Structure 1
Amino acid sequence: LRTYLSSRTRALTPLDLLKLHKALFYAMWLSDRPLPQQALAASLSSLLPILPPSLLAPFLRAFWLTVSREWGSIDVLRMEKFLLLTRRYIGATLAVLRDGAWEEGKVLEMCAVWEEVAFNVQDVRVANGVRFHCVDVFVDELERVGALEEGSGAPVGVLLGPLRRLAEGSPVKAVRGKAREALGDERLPGNGKEGADGEDGGEGDEWGGIED
């Protein structure tokens, strides 16, 4: 599969990609035991860096459409491995963007793909479970690829755009709350505890003066 995808000289159609991802979805569905599941999730997400640049966005769009379509059929015993798979795809996508020096056009293209499905604001066909999980792991994966490190060059504000639009526009209160919680993560630039610590320190100094 890696050889086939990396050597494509003719574009795969959206239908081709949906068929491919349905097959890959059921490969994960049939995978038993944690270690093989983890290995398969890593193997599938490792396809992203070897894709021709023109195929990356269509490939990811087909992945997210497939996950969204099948989400309601995933039983509780299988859910954990699909949560892992979607996390790995988000992380691998961010890693591709990082390795491409956060090229503006590619970043915007990936954000558009995420907003179409994973972070879609209003489409009722997208399961809220997909939204919740993607929001839940997004900051973790930003940190994992080094995007939150000083001097990384990552356009964190742009990457958080899909979450911000969910927080502002989702008709589901719980989704808005989850997105706002993620946007308030103290690991994100500007969300540190310095202000609060400074206030506490000031109060401590005043109290010390009274004791004297």
Structure 2
Amino acid sequence: MPFIKNLASSDRKIRTSALASLQTFLSSRQTASSLTSLDILKLWKGLFFALWMCDRAIPQQTLCQELADLIYALPRNSVVPWLRGFWATMSREWTGIDVLRMEKFLLLVRRVVGTGFGWMKNAGEKEKKKAKAKATWDEARVEDVLGLLQEWPFSLDEEVEMEVILGQEGEQQNAASQRIPAGLRLHVLDIWVDEAEKVGLLEKEDEKAAKILQRLCEHVDVLEQNTTSPAVRYRSKDSLADERLQTKTEEGTAATKDADMAGAGDSGSWDGFDD
């Protein structure tokens, strides 16, 4: 697809036109529903090398955000296969990224994680553009995003078994194993709290956000307790020790203690000194 190649252009008009073509292509329900897992992997490989060829900091940063935001152009039921294709592509290509290009791919992963967290709110692209739009957490989207994180960067397994669908009739290739590089895991562990904070998952008054955050912490905790990689274990523990999470936990503990004290007072276990 020629528009994928044009995404790497430093010319803003060419890149904008290419992005619009890609969004139109993906937003068609008929097109998106007909994409097989192999088609998605091919698309992501093209997008990966579009970023690979993209020069200069501003175009690179813009392209990373644009690629992450493609989930808003997709029909609802195509988002999970699309993101699964992203994680599979990054896992496959990660160890081949040279040190001069690594920074922009680190940014791409950060943007995709952050946009995935943002997508868990029930807000489409139109709502996303409205500053005053009130978004709520969508339980089905939360399950999708957390499930993908548990399937890939937070997975306890070193490899993921992938079923590659070749055709619309459901013809299936033998399941292929894709190893998850430790470096990719470490980066997600480094940035997930930052991205969670940006979308409001650390807000004190939001009970649903608190439950989602708790589930994320549990996934990381399970990874810390069960991983065979010392580096992943250390980084998991380090991310859970983030002071932003500790503050939230301490507030919850304090609230629980206050409630317990109030309950103890109501029980009449101590009525003061006798006259």
TM bin, normalised by shorter chain, reads 0.7 to 0.9
Shift of residue 119 of structure 1? 1.9
Larger Rg: 2
* Match of residue 77 from structure 1: 100
Give the Cα–Cα distance (whole angstroms) in 1 for the partners of residues 234 and 94 of structure 2.
22
Paired position in structure 2 for 1:209: none
Q: Is structure 2 residue 161 aligned with structure 1 residue 140?
A: no
Question: 1:150-182, CA deviations, whole angstroms, 9 ceiling, x for partnerless residues?
Answer: 223312112333322211211011101101111
One-letter amino acid matched to 1:4: F
More displaced stretch, 124-133 vs 152-161: 152-161
Distance 1:122 1:99 in 2: 31
Partner of 2:56 in structure 1? Answer: 33
> Partner letter of residue 190 of structure 2?
D
Question: Which contiguous aligned blocks of 4+ residues in structure 1 show a shift greater than 3 angstroms?
Answer: none
Quick one: which amino acid aligns to residue 23 of structure 2? R
Q: Could you tell me how far apart the structure 1 residues matched to 2:75 and 2:25 are?
A: 11
Taking structure 2 as the reference length, what is the TM-score of the superposition?
0.67
1:64 pairs with one of 55, 80, 87: 87
- 1:95-114: per-residue Cα shift (whole Å, max 9, x none)? 00023532223212211211
Is structure 2 residue 217 aligned with structure 1 residue 160? yes
What is the count of residue pairs matched by the alignment? 194
Query: Matches of 2:49 and 2:97 in 1, distance apart?
Result: 11
Give deviations 1:52-87, integer Å, cap 9, x for gaps. 110111100000000010000000000000000000
Matched with 1:190 is 249
Q: Which residue of 1 aligns with 2:139?
A: 104
Q: 1:5 to 1:181 in 2, by over 3 A?
A: same
1:117 and 2:140 matched? no
Tell me the secondary structure at the aligned position of residue 100 of structure 2: helix
Moved more, 90-99 or 155-164: 155-164
| Alpha carbons 1:11, 1:55 under 8 Å: kept | no
Contact 1:38 1:84 in 2 (8 A): yes
**How far did 1:191 drift?**
5.0
Structure 2 distance, partners of 1:137, 1:113, is 16
Alpha-carbon distance in 1 for matches of 2:182, 2:27 = 33
TM-score, L = length of structure 1: 0.86
> Higher relative contact order by CA 8 Å / sep ≥ 6: 1 or 2?
1
**Counterpart Cα distance in 1 of 2:96 and 2:88:** 14
RMSD of equivalent CA atoms? 1.7
In structure 2, distance between residues paired with 1:12 and 1:161: 34
Bigger mean CA offset, 48-57 vs 115-124:
115-124
SS state at 1:121 partner: coil
| 1:150 aligns with one of 204, 222, 227 | 204
The question of 1:171 aligning with 2:228 is answered yes
SS in 2 for 1:98: coil
Gaps of 5+ in 1: 196-212
TM-aligned CA distance change 1:19 to 1:28, over 3 Å: same
